[in-house]
Amino acid sequence: MTTAAERTRPVVAVLYREATKADGLATALDGANVLYQWHSFSPALRQNWDAAASLQWVHVSAAGVSQLLFDDLIGSNIVYTNSRGVLSRAIAEFALGFVLDMAKGAQTSFRLQRQHRWQHRVTRKLQGQTALVVGTGSIGREIARLFHAVGIKVSGAARSSRPGDDDFAQIHSSRDLARMVHDYDYVVLAAPLTNQTRGLVSGEVLSAMKGSARLINVGRGELVHTGALTEALESGSIAGAALDVVDPEPLPDEHPLWGMDNVIITPHMSGDTDNYLDDLSKLFVDNLKRFRDREPLHNVVDKALGFVPNT
């Protein structure tokens, strides 16, 4: 498999420099027009901002960029692009896997198997169940399509309410979550992290969910108030949660979420498939050709909003 660096060599040789770690970024930025920011949580650009005088475009190998934006970058003329769409299908498959795991009691089956116990149980049928997908961008839409395929009725929640479309029966305003979540068996978080979505799933929202409902988070851990979620799961206010992202990340060893039988935790891996590095590099190389040819770039982030607006 060719790497992103190898793919860039024949495209714009004058712009190419060897990959660098954070401690060498200041030197690498000297005279550089383009930065491919591979580590999607690194503060290196912020820490070396004074060396970025020549930067015109930054591309990041992630869809979520909230942790990478800072005031100087937001206020600059630098074009910022992300990898929106590349990992959407994989993340959607992961979300569907969570639903199947919980509906069919897979975790309980694994525990009984280890105990050598043959214990018959009934499970939940997905057809006719309902899901609210919070975040109607490329990830949310892929989730909706896969959920539809197994018979789940899907609505969405976004910055503002609007009529439904081919993917969502209806689209609510995410500001109204506490008033609408009681209608859904699954609440799936796939929204970008912004000042408006941080802590979106509060104790009020969790207490408004059905007692049989499950929360799934494949977005960002900070979308959820972790303390309130822990209390809701301990009290049985909601039936369970599947979390690919948490706050803080990783969870401390002693955190009670680790030991709950009604919780599935995975280490922020929902988009990482066996070929995802190659897929990410293809997007960057395509954009690099566009940058060379002065064509509009794909996935331009509105830096004030913190995400790529839907078109």
Band (20; pLDDT cuts 50, 70, 90): confident
Q: Note whether 230 and 172 are same-domain residues.
A: yes
What six digits make up the tokens of 171?
Answer: 């689209």
pLDDT tens by residue, 223-267: 999 999 999 999 999 999 999 999 999 999 999 999 999 999 999
Band (13; pLDDT cuts 50, 70, 90): very low
Q: Note whether 24 and 94 are same-domain residues.
A: no
- Which pLDDT score is estimated for 14? 42
Higher pLDDT, 190 or 7: 190
Percent of the chain whose predicted confidence (pLDDT) is above 90: 82
Q: How far is CA 308 from CA 26, 64, 136, 217, 301, in A?
A: 28, 10, 12, 20, 4
CB 211 within 8 A of CB 236: yes
Is 216 a residue whose pLDDT tops 70? yes
- Which pLDDT score is estimated for 17? 53
Q: Note whether 126 and 243 are same-domain residues.
A: yes
Q: Note whether 28 and 106 are same-domain residues.
A: no
Q: Note whether 145 and 245 are same-domain residues.
A: yes
- Which pLDDT score is estimated for 15? 46
Instruction: Work out the burial of residue 137: count CB atoms within 10 Å of its CB; fewer than 13 is exposed, 13-18 middle, 19 or more buried.
Output: buried
299 occurs within a structural domain: no
Q: Note whether 132 and 46 are same-domain residues.
A: no
What is the torsional sign of CA 32, 35, 39, 41?
Answer: positive
pLDDT tens by residue, 163-198: 889 999 999 999 999 999 999 999 999 999 998 999
Q: Note whether 70 and 174 are same-domain residues.
A: no
- Distance from C-alpha of 245 to C-alpha of 267, rounded to nearest angstrom: 7
Active site positions, annotated: 220, 249, 268
Query: Average pLDDT of 136-151?
Result: 97
136 occurs within a structural domain: yes
Band (219; pLDDT cuts 50, 70, 90): very high
Q: Note whether 194 and 282 are same-domain residues.
A: no
309 occurs within a structural domain: no
Domains identified in the chain, total number: 2
Q: Note whether 126 and 56 are same-domain residues.
A: no
Band (6; pLDDT cuts 50, 70, 90): low
111 occurs within a structural domain: yes
243 occurs within a structural domain: yes
What six digits make up the tokens of 118?
Answer: 């043959």
Q: Note whether 208 and 166 are same-domain residues.
A: yes
Last residue of a domain, one of 265, 282, 301: 265
- Interaxial angle between packed helices 88-103 and 138-149, expressed in degrees from 0 to 180 and rounded to the nearest 10: 40
pLDDT tens by residue, 65-98: 888 999 999 999 999 999 999 999 999 999 999 9
Q: Note whether 74 and 97 are same-domain residues.
A: no
- Which pLDDT score is estimated for 128? 97
Residue 17 maps to which CATH number? 3.40.50.720
- Distance from C-alpha of 237 to C-alpha of 80, rounded to nearest angstrom: 41
- Distance from C-alpha of 142 to C-alpha of 136, rounded to nearest angstrom: 9
Contacts of 168 (CB under 8 A, 6+ apart): 133, 136, 144, 154, 155, 156
Is 133 a residue whose pLDDT tops 50? yes
pLDDT tens by residue, 268-307: 999 999 988 899 999 999 999 999 999 999 999 999 998 8
- Which pLDDT score is estimated for 2? 53
CA-nearest of 213, 251, 252, 250 to 232 is: 213
Q: Note whether 98 and 13 are same-domain residues.
A: no
The domain in which residue 9 lies consists of 4-86+274-292
Is 12 a residue whose pLDDT tops 50? no
